[in-house]
Structure 1
């Protein structure tokens, strides 16, 4: 990765699929698995992943370090600023790779990072997944499970949206 200014990004949708992320952002570096408290994962009415504030829920995702070029590319995929906007939020690193210490701080015994998260603040209702998104999210869930996202989380939040089509439009 070049010496550009780096942005830490929490990916919670199809960019958990490491192959897709590498194709989109070839210089990105996987930092680890993180947990965002007080947010809930949904498939929005647009048919893609989003997160919404929710006091009793949490979201798991992958943290990537992005250089400026890769961040701009990812902004394009996320439709910034028309669809998603960028928010800086603290997350707890639950599993980090070697070198993650360069990005973290400790508070109340937790290893934390401040990350940029893409959020669509207008499209906040549950919807049905886009057909083309099912494969990408299936790959993302497989990589998530392999890298340490808890199976219980995937079962509770993602499986019903992706495979059962339980969202309402």
Structure 2
């Protein structure tokens, strides 16, 4: 488990010393957790041109599903008809008010999704875009509430992250055909750029999207392993 002693002290010092900057600069940007097709940084740039990549994170005690509309959703653990996972991986972006308004339209707020603010745990950070006042300066446990290990790369908690969630449609359903390709691009880009775990892609997202294309990096690694074994 990561402890505060394991974290670069210069990084901790940077966070503590500059935590007031965002308040003083009147920064209106927010941090957004993408767990569906916006895992694709390409799609995010098309939808939200000024968005900035922050890092890979996990939303604890929620489970990824494809809901009855045929699109990604997260449901709180304990929901009927859904087997619980330890958490949902996603990509966090820093977005401007203009980007947020554009994203609201793309996500169909308030009919398809509503907006909530949650806490996430980070595995990887782009410190040039991750504002220090956003972080809770202590190490996060890498276990879920029921004791299952999530990821040993967790380094910091991020507070007040925007999550689009559908609290009404929490029953699983098949994915829309056009969504399969967009999700395939999302996991390809998030895996290559941020290390989205193979087990999560194949075991969680792949469980809900049977036609999901396996990221190139995973396929190449499997081929190398097969070649070395033969």
Structure 2 residue corresponding to 1:28, chosen from 8, 30, 51 = 51
Query: 1:35-46 to 2 correspondence within 5 Å?
Result: 35-46=58-69
CA contact (8 A) 2:180 2:211 kept: no
Is the aligned partner of 1:104 residue 2:149? Answer: no
Structure ID, larger Rg: 2
Structure 2 residue corresponding to 1:145, chosen from 152, 167, 191 = 191
The CA distance in 2 between the partners of 1:14 and 1:106, in whole Å, is 30
CA contact (8 A) 1:51 1:119 kept: yes
Deviations 1:78-130 (A, max 9, x none): 11111111111100011111322523222344401120100000010110000
Q: Which runs of 5+ in 1 are unaligned?
A: none
**How far off is 1:161 after superposition?**
1.8
TM-score (norm 2): 0.67
User: SS of 1:86's equivalent?
Assistant: strand
Change beyond 3 A, Cα 1:29–1:88: same
Q: Which runs of 5+ in 2 are unaligned?
A: 1-25, 79-84, 141-154, 213-230
User: SS of 2:175's equivalent?
Assistant: coil
Is the aligned partner of 1:87 residue 2:116? Answer: yes
TM-score (norm 1): 0.90
Higher strand share: 1
Superposition CA RMSD, Å: 1.7
